[in-house]
Each structure stands twice: as C-alpha cells, then as structure tokens.
Structure 1
C-alpha cells in the first residue's frame, strides 16, 4: 500500500486535476504501475478526448478507476455476489472486474459493448481524484497508442506536450505487473488477462467466502 501524504503541494495538484476533469479535460496521473490518462468517465466528450489524445482505436474499450468498492454500483448494472466478494478481497489492488455496464457509463467508454472494466487502484492519487470528482475516471496508460508506457510526469509531458490539459506529478510510478482482468458476465468467469492476481488467489477468495 502507498503512503499518501496530503501535503499542501499535492493537495493543490489534486484540486487542479479535479477542476480540469470537472470541465471536461484530460489529466495525466500516477497509478499503481504507470502514469494514466484520466477523464471523467460519465462525460462522453471527455472520454472521446482520451481516444483522440492517445490515437487509440475506437474499438478498444477503456478501463475505469474507482475511489472505493461502492462506486462499482454506479458503473455496473448489477454487482453479483462473487464480484462483490472479489472486490472486497482484492480492492484496492490489481484485479480488474468486467461487469455489465450501468446506464451512467457512456458507450464511448466501452467501445459500444455492454460490459465495463472496473478497478479500485492500489494507489491513493487516482482514488483521491475520483473521490473529489464524485465520478469514476478513465485508467488507460498515458502514452501514444503502440508506444511504451510511461512512469514519470516529465515523460508524459514530453509525450503529449500542450495537448494534455494537466499532469499531476507525484514522483515516478513503479512499473511492474499489470492487473488481472476477470470477466464475470458469462455463466462462468473467465480470465481475459493474466496479471498480478493469480487464478489460485481468486479461487481461494471465493472458496473462503463460501465456507
């Protein structure tokens, strides 16, 4: 877990980031592994700016970062019991849950799909930004599509220049293993991407809850 020290300088950066996001802008922020591009997930035009900024293909959905477990209920049509068990066990952390999207989430986020990828990150800055904004934020990596992910605010500024509205600088992101993506929309859960949380960890959490 990270130690977030809300000193005055960081608090001012968070307030600036939230103001930019509330007005439809895009912000670079540190996350668990890399810097990401944050936009208000409920603002369709802001989400489309993320695609434009990255040069991201329209058919690729964006993951969303939440401030806490309860935010999943705003983003998903339903949070099944297994999903809630896993969220309570692994969030904040490196497990992304794919659920049926709720009405508030625009199709721009999901690339036209009826599903949405959700996670509470194990990094206090995106959680603080989302909480202060009162909405989930996009969590795609802050780099041009096809280029390597970036781990510093300076690298994000160099990559995007004046095209990005603001970059919140809280030191280097640590890199490391990406989150596991688990699809809970079908009759059986499916691992879409193997990552930091193993299948054994997932099974153990579910089995522990059923005992």
Structure 2
C-alpha cells in the first residue's frame, strides 16, 4: 500500500496507525528513502528479516533532543552547537547507550546511533505515539540505498510516496569520547563538524578524504600542489585532484612546472587540466584555493565555507604567486612555497587519521 507523503493529516494518521500496530513503514527522509517501526525487539527482528539477516545495529530516529537524551548515558557539551544546526538533518550521532534498550540498536561496545530526520510527518508521528523509531535504508544488502518509493524492492505494507531530499546518507559521528570520530562520511562535511565542535576530528578506517586544489589555468600551481601531496602522503586514504577557474580542459602542465617537480622526484607529465565545476566543489571535503579570487569563485559555485582552507593562508601570504610565463627560477620559488604549505597540510591530515 502506498500512501501520500504530503505534510498533511492523512499522512501522519497513516504513520501513527501503522506504527501502533507494529508495522514496518517506508518513508522518504532528508537523506535516503528509509523504513522503520517503533523501538522494540520485535521491530529489530522484522527489520533484520527484511535486510536479510543484517547483524549490525540499527540507528534510531527521535523527534527531539530531549528524546535523544532519554536513550543515552551522556550528552557531551561539545555537540550542542552541532545539533542546533544539523538536527533535524543528515547527522547520526553515536553515544553510550542506557541499559535496557533492545540489543538490535546497541553495539557490542554499548553504543547507540541517533538522528532527528528532517521529515515533519515522521517527527509528528513519533510525538503522537510517544516512541522513537528504529530506522534503516529501504534496500537489500549490497544494493544502493533508494531515494524514492519507486526504487524500493523490499516488501513493505505501507510506503509513503515521495523522494528523499538529498540522496546522500547521513554523516555518522561517534561522540562518545573526547574527540569526534567520523564513522561514515555523508551529508554533513567533516571539517564543518570540526569547526563547529572545536575538536580535531578522527577519521575511522575506510573513510577517504577528497581534496581539491584550485588555481587559474590548472597547469602550474594547483597540479604542483596536487602531485606533490599525492607523493608525500601516498600512504594516507586521500583522493587528491586539482582544477582551474579559467575553463581550460586537457592542457598539460607547463614545461617549467614539469622541470621543477622533476628536480624533487615528482612526475607531472600525466597531468591534464580540468575546469572547475559545481560537481567538483560538491565532491570535495577540503578545497585549497591559491588566491582570494579563486576562493570567491569556489564560493560562487555553492561551496560549503567550512570546506575551504585558503592555501596561501597556510604560509601567511596574500596569495600564491602565479608563475605562468615566468622563468624557471620563479617556478622554483613558487614550488618551494607550495611544498612548505603541503608539509604543514600533510602533518595536520595525519593527525586526523592517526590517533
């Protein structure tokens, strides 16, 4: 049966009715299309059957912060500003769980994942029934999480029509310790979490940071930075790219850029220029513009300000000089500035992967 996910009384009444009878309901959220039922051991069993025996604990949706606090041992002060901005939203936080909760929502370490979804009918339904909802994406193991009820292949008795807002899973952060640990990267950018909490994040195994350098033509400064960091930090789980604001595509690095990087053992001959794009900006977890004008271009394409770290500020400059058209000695000076900045960056990235 498919219901209407409009924010009207019928949608909420359907949710309340089905939740109260112990049914598993499918619903759109702000991340991916999900399914769930009221917090109970019976619900865990039903969801595991639908997810083909999944053993990992399920996350729990709550309607408000007070409901979250009822499920956890401690609510650290450093997350207050974070939840103020991202609850409701695509942020799942992991806490130490209180005793007595169903085993299927508590990990072997005694932790529970909690989120307030940005879907008003579901929040209102939880308030009316007086219970959190155990939630999971409405897909089978190995499948891509659906974004619409039309994509769901799991057999459900009620599915609310609608598309999820983002199609990006929530960011999962363990806040049970002194330092936020990123378990899964997702809708909320990791360096935004770091900036808001004031705590240095730690990325758990399996996460990859996407790093993007930006200059004008993408033929000297940004490829020098890209290939140098790729060489120095090759043991870290980084995906490093570069692009240019002038729109050049397919051009090689300049001859002098290739020469000065050969001098320090880095090969630039494979590089081809890439124009900046909205897709690249959204892909990146950390964006490093070479000049203020590049920073403004990045912002104009909708970048999250928390993802931007002006590369020139790392070494206390107003900008990284553009060597295009200059002699090889000038290229060496620019290369050395970039190497200096990358050494600092590499050190700080390592601190976020190694506790």
* TM value normalised by structure 1: 0.82
Higher mean C-alpha deviation, range 115-124 or range 145-154: 145-154
Query: 1:18 & 1:29 partners in 2: Cα distance?
Result: 13
1:63 aligns with 59
Higher relative contact order (CA 8 A, sep 6+): 1
1:140 aligns with 2:131: no
Query: 2:145 & 2:6 partners in 1: Cα distance?
Result: 25
Query: 1:100 & 1:143 partners in 2: Cα distance?
Result: 27
In the TM superposition, residue 65 of structure 1 has moved relative to its aligned partner by: 1.4
Q: Secondary structure at the match of 1:75?
A: coil
Q: Secondary structure at the match of 1:167?
A: strand
1:181 aligns with 2:150: no
2:234 aligns with none
Q: Of 129, 147, 158, which aligns to 1:166? A: 158
In the TM superposition, residue 134 of structure 1 has moved relative to its aligned partner by: 1.4
The alpha-carbon distance between structure 1 residues 112 and 24, as it changes in their structure 2 partners (threshold 3 A), is farther
The alpha-carbon distance between structure 1 residues 191 and 29, as it changes in their structure 2 partners (threshold 3 A), is same
In the TM superposition, residue 69 of structure 1 has moved relative to its aligned partner by: 1.6
Contact 2:7 2:120 in 1 (8 A): no
Q: Secondary structure at the match of 1:99?
A: strand
Unaligned runs of 5+ in 1: none
Unaligned runs of 5+ in 2: 199-355
In the TM superposition, residue 6 of structure 1 has moved relative to its aligned partner by: 3.4
Query: 1:141 & 1:30 partners in 2: Cα distance?
Result: 10
Q: Of 64, 68, 73, which aligns to 1:72? A: 68
Matches within 5 A, 1:4-43: 6-7=7-8, 11-41=9-39, 43=40
Q: Secondary structure at the match of 2:70?
A: helix
- Runs of 4+ aligned structure 1 residues displaced above 4 Å come to none
1:97 aligns with 2:93: yes
* TM value normalised by structure 2: 0.51
Q: Secondary structure at the match of 2:154?
A: helix
Contact 2:32 2:168 in 1 (8 A): no
2:182 aligns with 191
The alpha-carbon distance between structure 1 residues 112 and 14, as it changes in their structure 2 partners (threshold 3 A), is farther
1:106 aligns with 102
2:224 aligns with none
Number of residue pairs the alignment of both structures matches: 195
Query: 1:90 & 1:175 partners in 2: Cα distance?
Result: 14
Query: 1:37 & 1:99 partners in 2: Cα distance?
Result: 22
Deviation digits for residues 40-93 of structure 1 (CA, Å, limit 9, x no counterpart): 12x1111210111121422x1111111122211122122121233322232112
